[in-house]
Structure 1
Amino acid sequence: MIEMVIEQRRRSLGGGLDVGRVLPYAKRRMVGPFVFFDHMGPLDIAAGSHDHLDVRPHPHIGLSTVTYLFSGEVMHRDSVGSIQQIRPREVNWMTAGSGVTHSERFEKARTQGDHLHGIQAWVALPTADEETAPSFSHHSGGDLPQWSDTGVHGQLIAGSAYGLNAAVKTHSPLFYAHLDLDAGAVAEIPGDQPERALYVAAGAVELDGRRFDTGQMLVLGEGASSVKAAERSTIMVLGGEPLGERYIYWNFVSSSKERLAQAAEDWKAGRMKLPDADDKEFIPLPEGPAPSAPAMS
Structure 2
Amino acid sequence: MIEMVIDQRRRSLGGFEVGRVLPFAKRRMVGPFIFFDHMGPVEFAPGIPNDVDVRPHPHIGLSTITYLFDGEIMHRDSVGSEQPILPGEVNWMTAGRGITHSERFERARREGGRMDGIQAWVALPDGREETDPSFAHHEGHDLPAFEEDGLAGRLIAGEVLGLKASVKTDSPLFYLHWQLQPGARASLPPEYAERAIYVARGAIRLGGERIECGSMAVLTPGETADITAEESAIVMALGGEPVGPRFIDWNFVSSSRERIEEAKADWRAGRMKLPDLDDEEWIPLPPDPVPPANPMS
TM above 0.5, one fold?
yes
TM norm structure 2: 0.96
CA deviation profile, 1:40-72 (whole Å, cap 9, x unmatched): 111001111111110000000000000000000
**1:129 match: secondary structure:** coil
Partner of 1:294: none
CA deviation profile, 1:69-91 (whole Å, cap 9, x unmatched): 00000000000000000100001
Rounded to whole Å, the distance in 2 between the matches of 1:290 and 1:214 is 35
Q: Is residue 271 of structure 1 aligned with residue 271 of structure 2?
A: yes
Please say if residues 188 and 227 of structure 1, whose CA atoms lie closer than 8 Å, have aligned partners that are also in contact: yes
User: More deviation in 195-204 or 225-234?
Assistant: 225-234
User: How far apart are 1:250 and its partner, in Å?
Assistant: 0.1
Partner of 2:235: 235
Q: Which runs of 5+ in 1 are unaligned?
A: 292-297
Partner of 1:218: 217
* Aligned residue runs from structure 1 range 173-252, under 5 A: 173-221=172-220, 222-252=222-252
User: More deviation in 221-230 or 119-128?
Assistant: 221-230
Structure 2 letter corresponding to 1:132: T
User: How far apart are 1:140 and its partner, in Å?
Assistant: 1.1
Rounded to whole Å, the distance in 1 between the matches of 2:150 and 2:167 is 26
Q: Which runs of 5+ in 2 are unaligned?
A: 292-297
Please say if residues 79 and 275 of structure 1, whose CA atoms lie closer than 8 Å, have aligned partners that are also in contact: yes
Rounded to whole Å, the distance in 2 between the matches of 1:141 and 1:22 is 25
User: More deviation in 169-178 or 215-224?
Assistant: 215-224
Please say if residues 143 and 168 of structure 1, whose CA atoms lie closer than 8 Å, have aligned partners that are also in contact: no
User: How far apart are 1:229 and its partner, in Å?
Assistant: 0.5
User: How far apart are 1:143 and its partner, in Å?
Assistant: 2.1
Structure 2 letter corresponding to 1:37: F
Partner of 1:96: 95
Q: Percent identity?
A: 64
Please say if residues 62 and 123 of structure 2, whose CA atoms lie closer than 8 Å, have aligned partners that are also in contact: yes
Rounded to whole Å, the distance in 2 between the matches of 1:270 and 1:134 is 18
**1:226 match: secondary structure:** strand
1:62 to 1:219, Cα distance in 2 relative to 1, 3 A = same
Q: Is residue 20 of structure 1 aligned with residue 7 of structure 2?
A: no
CA deviation profile, 1:252-275 (whole Å, cap 9, x unmatched): 000000000000000000000000
**1:266 match: secondary structure:** helix
User: How far apart are 1:200 and its partner, in Å?
Assistant: 0.3
Partner of 1:260: 260
Rounded to whole Å, the distance in 2 between the matches of 1:186 and 1:153 is 10
**1:258 match: secondary structure:** helix
Rounded to whole Å, the distance in 1 between the matches of 2:166 and 2:102 is 24
Q: What is the number of equivalent residue pairs in this alignment?
A: 290
Partner of 1:3: 3
Rounded to whole Å, the distance in 1 between the matches of 2:223 and 2:136 is 35
Rounded to whole Å, the distance in 1 between the matches of 2:195 and 2:103 is 29
Rounded to whole Å, the distance in 2 between the matches of 1:72 and 1:186 is 28
TM norm structure 1: 0.96
* Aligned residue runs from structure 1 range 13-52, under 5 A: 13=13, 15-52=14-51
* Aligned residue runs from structure 1 range 76-115, under 5 A: 76-115=75-114
User: How far apart are 1:207 and its partner, in Å?
Assistant: 1.0
User: How far apart are 1:289 and its partner, in Å?
Assistant: 5.5
Please say if residues 267 and 285 of structure 1, whose CA atoms lie closer than 8 Å, have aligned partners that are also in contact: yes
Rounded to whole Å, the distance in 2 between the matches of 1:223 and 1:97 is 34
1:185 to 1:290, Cα distance in 2 relative to 1, 3 A = farther
